[in-house]
Amino acid sequence: MSEIKLNLSINGKNIKRSTKSHYRLLDFLREDLDLTGTKEGCGAGECGTCSVFVNGKLIKSCLMPVAKVNGSKIETVESLGTPDKMSEVQKAFCLTGASQCGFCIPGMVMAATSTLRNNPKSSLEEIKEEMGGNICRCTGYQKIFEAVEIARDVINKKQNKNVFDKYYKPENSFIGANVKRIDAPSKVTGNLKYAADMKMQNMLHMQVLRSDRPHAKIKKIDLSKALKLKGVVTAVTSDDVPGIDNFGVFVEDQPVLAKNKVRYVGEAIVAVAAESVEIAKEALSKIKIIYEDLPCLFKSEEALKNKILIHEDYKTNVVKHIPIRKGNIDEGFAKADVIIEDDFSTQPVDHAYLEPMAGISYVDQDGVLTIVSPSQNITHHRHMMAKIMNLPIHKVRFIMSPVGGGFGGKEDMIYQGMLALLAMKTRLPIKYVMSREEDIVSTAKRHPTKTHYKMGLLNNGKITAVEIKTLSDGGAYGCSTEGVMRKAAILGAGPYHIENLKMDTIGVYTNNTPSGAFRSFGALQTEFATESMMDLASEKLNLDPFEIRRVNAFKKGDLTHTKQKLNSASINNVLDELEKLCKWDKGSSNHRGEERKDLNSSDNRESCTLGARLETNRSRVSK
């Protein structure tokens, strides 16, 4: 591999050294200089986690070939401050709680610093525009905006810098106190090491060959050419699994590596360990797989027919059906003054945590298989891994590395098994970092759903009966489908006392990307349908939407949809507070729009308009 000589300034130090000529600035900083505060979230200039200054200008280091910055002055997040000596921007981020998982935060801090260096008097709208190239998946940006405005005001001496020391000194209790996040200093300075930032001696790198077919038999895997490549240490397939080869959050049906057949595009087939990521990638291109394509199943309605089976052993494509029955819906609908019937659907979405999947595995001095990864459930992973590797449970150790966002996506154990196989086989540490593309194609998504809904009501808004049927595409493997169907069923009919209810949620296998755990876990999908129905009813019965919900809201002592007696129910209180908070203008949901009296309050943000501030920018340039 060719090398180039560099002579440049990094964080005030002159650096003269050679590096790989194909490296991006990001690789040079992280791999050669161990400046791991600069993160890789997407590798395509979309997320901003890799933001650095080149000659004072904010750039995305994943898009910059290192050769191009030769002779330049580079500043990374490490130059801005340390946990003991933070910059104004970093202190402000700690103050407002602007860091959650922290993975986007070094980039955010760089973008905020750039914004205030370019214009120390930036308005909120300018701050938002300047930071528009940096994605945060946790915070919703509010606390970040707040932080940048505080930092701006301190820099401009409009606010005293002792605002940063503001510390909630409780008279009686730390409960209910806005104690500053204890992990914030390590996050805003880029000090915290995520799995991709870790290195071990003699470490090998893993890369994974994935299926490009949605449903196919694997006739042959030819590794011979790949294994001959210099720097390739070994490779593993399904044949290398010593124990019971399946895992899953609820249904354990997924093999560590595809066994005999592939069930979705992106499924892992071969894992290679090599001395470098580049060699491991090259090895993948030399592996030959012979497939025999099978008929595919992409629609959940088709899956119900069981003509094509995704998992032959199960004789059905239904992963889980959850029924809920309460009262008698025929009697309920007979009593109704109006009946509303409609259909709703929701799409699959990606977790898009900013930290792509990553991990390190090794076998320790006592023979304990150890896996370090940003997993949301190492307790369960340990159980499954012991079974897969045929080891006693205390010979498997999981260590949680800082999680750069999860939202349910990091509950599945989809790559730790491969790391374990290679670590046991080579007795060397193995590291794996997914690219964003690999993460998107291989990991589980939010369950897409189709819901048919029928609701009967009296003229006063009281619900007499509800019938809901939700069909959901669980994709190729069970993952969390069972649990998601359960939660969707239990909560789906909403926070309302309904005497007559028939609810069914059904999750099925298809050859689509698996669906899995995702924040709000099925309840988001079914409650969306219910809350849309409540507004349809509000219009039909000419009732205010708060009112119709109050008529039906649970009260203490009511029986839930699963016939559990509630020991408390704050819904009426919540509705009252919400109505006051937004100064709701009463009226039915009948497209009142501009006639409403509660619009355009200062609680809204400004609406974005094309060309806003173009004039001010132009005048600044002309100066």
Partner 1 sequence: MSLTKKRGRGMAAAWYGIARTAAMDQAGAWAEIDDGGTAKIVTGVTEIGEGILTVLAQVAAEELGVKPENVMIGENDTSRSPEAAHAGATRQTYMIGNAVALACRQAKNKLFAQIAKEWNVDIQTLKAHDGEIWSEGTNYRIPMSEAIKICKKKYGVVPVGGENYTSHHTGLHPEDGSGKPWQAYVFGGQVAEVEVDTATGEVQLLGIWACHDVGRAINPKGVEGQVEGGVVQAVGQALMENFELDNGKTSSGNLAKYILPTSLDVPKVKTKIVEDPDPLSPLGAKGIGEPAMVPTAPAIMNAIYDAVGVRIKSLPATPEKILSALREKQRKSLNKSLN
Residue 182 CB coordination number (10 Å): 7
- Name, in order, each residue with C-beta under 8 angstroms of 132's C-beta and a sequence gap of 6 or more: none
Contact with partner 1 (CB under 8 A): which of 64, 468, 524, 543?
Answer: 524
Paired sense of beta strands 73-75 and 216-222, if any: unpaired
| Pick 203 or 265: Cβ nearer partner 1 | 265
**How far is CA 48 from each of CA 51, 262, 487, rounded to the nearest angstrom?**
5, 35, 35
Output the smallest distance, CB 110 to partner 1, in A: 14
487 within 8 A of 523, measured Cβ to Cβ: yes
**Residue for token digits 């203490």?**
556
| Pick 11 or 191: Cβ nearer partner 1 | 191
Residues 472-491 that bind partner 1 (CB under 8 A): 483, 486-487, 489-491
314 binds partner 1 (CB under 8 A): no
Output the smallest distance, CB 623 to partner 1, in A: 26
**How far is CA 173 from each of CA 93, 183, 328, rounded to the nearest angstrom?**
25, 21, 50
Pick the closest to residue 313 from 266, 383, 259 (CA basis).
259
Output the smallest distance, CB 423 to partner 1, in A: 16
Output the smallest distance, CB 366 to partner 1, in A: 10
Residues 330-349 that bind partner 1 (CB under 8 A): 342-349
Output the smallest distance, CB 325 to partner 1, in A: 4
Output the smallest distance, CB 44 to partner 1, in A: 6
- Name, in order, each residue with C-beta under 8 angstroms of 528's C-beta and a sequence gap of 6 or more: 344, 346
Q: Which amino acid is at 73?
A: K
561 binds partner 1 (CB under 8 A): yes
Select the span of 12-20, 223-231, 235-243, 321-329 touching partner 1 (CB under 8 A). Answer: 321-329
Residues 134-193 that bind partner 1 (CB under 8 A): 134-135, 137-145, 170, 172-183
Contact with partner 1 (CB under 8 A): which of 546, 547, 551, 558?
Answer: 546
227 binds partner 1 (CB under 8 A): no
**Residue for token digits 């298809």?**
510
106 binds partner 1 (CB under 8 A): no
Residues 18-57 that bind partner 1 (CB under 8 A): 41-42, 44, 46-47
Residues 444-463 that bind partner 1 (CB under 8 A): 445-446
Query: Which string of x and - marks every residue 257-296 that binds partner 1 (by CB under 8 A)?
Result: -------xx------------------------------x
63 binds partner 1 (CB under 8 A): no
| Pick 145 or 247: Cβ nearer partner 1 | 145
Paired sense of beta strands 13-20 and 204-210, if any: unpaired
Select the span of 84-92, 273-281, 322-330, 462-470 touching partner 1 (CB under 8 A). Answer: 322-330
# residues near partner 1 by CB under 8 A: 155
**Distance between CA atoms of residues 166 and 248, nearest Å:** 46
- Quick one: angle between helices 523-540 and 545-552, nearest 10? 110
Residues 565-604 that bind partner 1 (CB under 8 A): 566-571, 573-575, 577-578, 581-582, 584-585, 589, 591-594, 596, 598-601, 603-604
Residue 30 CB coordination number (10 Å): 23
Pick the closest to residue 452 from 470, 474, 472, 473 (CA basis).
470
Contact with partner 1 (CB under 8 A): which of 35, 251, 517, 537?
Answer: 517
Contact with partner 1 (CB under 8 A): which of 13, 228, 325, 613?
Answer: 325
Contact with partner 1 (CB under 8 A): which of 81, 190, 359, 405?
Answer: 405
129 binds partner 1 (CB under 8 A): yes
Residues 355-384 that bind partner 1 (CB under 8 A): 368, 375-380, 382
Output the smallest distance, CB 348 to partner 1, in A: 4
- For the chain, counts of helices (H) and of strands (E): 18, 20
**Distance between CA atoms of residues 143 and 141, nearest Å:** 6
Task: Give SS3 for 122.
Answer: coil
Select the span of 66-74, 236-244, 281-289, 554-562 touching partner 1 (CB under 8 A). Answer: 554-562
Output the smallest distance, CB 498 to partner 1, in A: 13
Burial track 156-179 (b if 16+ CB lie within 10 A, e otherwise): eeebeeeebeeeeeeeeeeeeeee
Residues 418-437 that bind partner 1 (CB under 8 A): 436-437
Q: Which stretch of DSSP H or E encloses residue 112? A: helix 105-118
Give me the residues paired with residue 13 across strands.
10
| Cα 467–Cα 469–Cα 472 angle in degrees, nearest 5 | 160
Contact with partner 1 (CB under 8 A): which of 534, 537, 541, 543?
Answer: 534
Contact with partner 1 (CB under 8 A): which of 199, 219, 555, 563?
Answer: 563
**Distance between CA atoms of residues 269 and 220, nearest Å:** 11
**Chain centre to alpha carbon of residue 14:** 39
**How far is CA 320 from each of CA 61, 219, 439, 505, rounded to the nearest angstrom?**
46, 31, 26, 8
